[in-house]
Amino acid sequence: MSPTTTSAPSGSRIGVLGIGSYLPSQVITNDMLADRAGVTEEWIVRKTGIVARRAVKPDEATSDLAVYAARAALEDAGISPSQLSLVVVGTATPDMAGPSVASLTALALECPTTTGTFDIQAACAGFLTAVDMASTYLSVRGGYALVIGADTYSRFRNHEDRRTTALWGDGAGAVVLGPVDDGSGLLATRITSFPVDTEVGGIPAGGSRLPASHETVDAGLHFVRMNGRRIMEIFQEHIPPMTKAFLDDAGQDLEDVDHVVPHQGNQRMVESLPELLGFTRPRLHASAHDFGNTGSASIPVTLDRAVRQGRIRSGESVLMVSIGAGMTFGFALLRWK
């Protein structure tokens, strides 16, 4: 049985009313990472295509980035925090085990007590998973939702691991979702998974299985780990058929899509998509070159950047595709306004 594609009911389509993003001011260049990782700047660019990334200040956390992005999206939408029915944050790097980043964000925004809040942990697919959940909620309950992708992977970077240290950047992106009636909005969404063992990627310690201890810290188990080769194999094997199935169920063809905004695992991964999916027409959007892998933030950050630069115009369709540790996958097809 194929995964279910969620489509907005007729007459109650949910769309993006506003978008915003935030990237910390501190820029981390390849020369700041190369020596400690035992590699060269040229090696980092050749392997990843990344030349810079952003990192939070010592007093910043994921919720701070989420709040900045949220305020930009709310201003863009002309929506007040008092109007929000829901705040959902996709993140794998929360401020703490609890409360949720969504709760902390709602507190900072002074949302009313009627606003629901929760986080989604689907690794780098967190934002599109949150979009799927929030749009489904709104199609039934109505109102407005603030959906945020935010991560601070710099806090979990192992500077001596050359396979991962250059990948990670911090950032947040947000959208305000609400009802639209002009043909724009979300045409379809889907979330699915291909479960794999934890050795493929993740942060081993800090949870209930391996609580923080001197031993876990000494062993470096609080750093993010990744089997890049295995993840690329999964990406190459599963993204093409999953994307085709998603579009087929939505009644769309890839060559009819105007823009593709994928998760920014690294620049090389993004650049492989046209050949991997076999498309020539859609315009591919990337930000990993400048910002690295910002986790759940990568798609909304890239989308916001493209919109601000005038590269995505009203009436054009946007396909968003994400993959995260687990492995988790998210898809969304949007007609932009």
Residue of 259, 266, 285, 293 marked catalytic? 293
Mark whether 263 is an active-site residue: yes
Those residues with Cβ within 8 angstroms of residue 102's Cβ, 6 or more apart along the chain or in another chain: 87, 88, 89, 117, 118, 119, 148
Q: Is the Cα torsion angle 132, 136, 142, 312 positive or negative in sign?
A: positive
Mark whether 266 is an active-site residue: no
The answer to whether residues 93 and 62 touch, using CB atoms and an 8 Å cutoff, is yes
Which H or E run includes 76? helix 62-77
Mark whether 124 is an active-site residue: yes
Terminal alpha carbon distance of the chain: 34
Token pair for residue 124? 């780098």
Residue of 263, 266, 285, 289 marked catalytic? 263
Q: How far are the Cα atoms of 166, 179, 196, 202, 227 from residue 199, in angstroms, in the given order?
A: 20, 41, 8, 7, 7
Residue owning tokens 């500077």: 159
**In the beta sheet, which residues pair with residue 129?**
none
In 126-162, which positions are buried (b, 16+ CB within 10 angstroms) versus exposed (e)? Answer: bbbbbbbbbbebbbeeebbbbbbbbbbbbbbbbeebb
Residue of 30, 111, 124, 285 marked catalytic? 124
Distance (Å, rounded) from C-alpha 164 to C-alpha 84?
Answer: 37
Those residues with Cβ within 8 angstroms of residue 215's Cβ, 6 or more apart along the chain or in another chain: none
Distance (Å, rounded) from C-alpha 80 to C-alpha 143?
Answer: 12
DSSP structure class, residue 124: B
Show which residues are catalytic: 124, 263, 293
